[in-house]
Amino acid sequence: MNLLKQIHYPGRRTLENLWNRLYWWAKTKSYEALPSQRTLIHHSNWDYLIILDACRADYFAAEYTKFLPSSYLSFAYSAGRDTFEFLKRVFPDYYDLVYVSGATPVNSFVKSPIEDPFLKKYYGGYVPKEHFKRIVDAWNYGWDDDLGTVPPKEVTRIATDIIKQHKEERIIIHYFQPHAPYIGEYKLLGYSGTEAGKLRGKPPDMKIWENVKKGLISIVELKKAYLSNLRLVLEEVKRLLNIIDPTKRVIITSDHGELLGEDGRFGHQRIDHPKLRVIPWLVIKRKGGT
């Protein structure tokens, strides 16, 4: 059975059933047999690579057709279990790429004046600035203290300007959502206001996980907020695609997945779990492009 071929065409079976079969396959066999995301990134033809932070394959598969144009969906094996691992393993050398970053760990600082000990712990000497032609700190320019993060509309705004400046460049556009805090229609905020301003650059989701573990947030509420956050960012991706030249080749993926109570775990810990390692790989069908 070639499960991956069936995933490409969701009309043949429901996406929910496909994911259940993929999850069973991943748990009982080896999700490492999926295509390597690192290989796909470096050997696929793309002009714009859109990354949705902490985007689960199952949630994405169930929602993307409501927002995005005709496209070709498959799944891949993520290079990392968090953004730090993803970046170090996928981009270990220097790359002639522009990186629009809505994620605080991917910044243009040589040594972050905001949270150097934290970045040093997880990067282990890796400095993102040294590996890309340019990193645009969208997370900093578009930060919202009331939300405790950068909303996706700000990443779209900044990415639009960068695309105009670098018309012939290959660009990575990294949205922070659906990663917590959850700022969609159903909100679950972490740090906000003055507290968020002081903590800019630090993990913005820790307070949420603490409240979940204390029983202040239920699993049902958590999943509802995550889904709402995913829908929020997909709406922005849709808007960005309407701006991008239709002849350009666009791929949408994630740096890693997210645990929402599976096996009693939350967030993205450094453990090997299919909900963390299986990520979407969506090729947008464009006029004159792929």
pLDDT tens column, 156-174: 999 999 999 999 999 999 9
3 in any annotated domain = no
12 in any annotated domain = no
Number of domains forming the structure of the chain: 1
Which residues in 17-41 are b (16+ Cβ under 10 Å) and which e? ebbeebbebbeeeebeebeebbebb
Range of the structural domain that residue 124 is part of:
32-284
- Cβ-Cβ contacts under 8 Å for 1 (sequence gap 6 or more): none
Place of tokens 């990575």: 172
> What percentage of the chain carries pLDDT values higher than 70?
78
- Cβ-Cβ contacts under 8 Å for 229 (sequence gap 6 or more): 177, 178, 179, 180, 182, 183, 184
Whose CA is closest to 102, among 123, 89, 83? 83
183 in any annotated domain = yes
- Cβ-Cβ contacts under 8 Å for 113 (sequence gap 6 or more): none
- What are the residue ranges in the chain where pLDDT is below 50? 1-9, 11-13, 28-29, 112-114, 198, 290
Distance of alpha carbon 211 from alpha carbon 9, whole angstroms: 39
Q: What is the pLDDT of residue 262?
A: 86
112 in any annotated domain = yes
Tokens at 111, concatenated: 């040594």
Q: What is the pLDDT of residue 96?
A: 98
8 in any annotated domain = no
239 in any annotated domain = yes
pTM reported for the whole predicted model: 0.85
Whose CA is closest to 56, among 233, 190, 217, 189? 233
Place of tokens 């070639």: 2
Distance of alpha carbon 202 from alpha carbon 145, whole angstroms: 13
CATH at 183: 3.40.720
9 in any annotated domain = no
Place of tokens 């995005």: 68
Q: What is the pLDDT of residue 4?
A: 44
Distance of alpha carbon 209 from alpha carbon 194, whole angstroms: 20
170 in any annotated domain = yes
Bridge partners for 71 per DSSP? 284
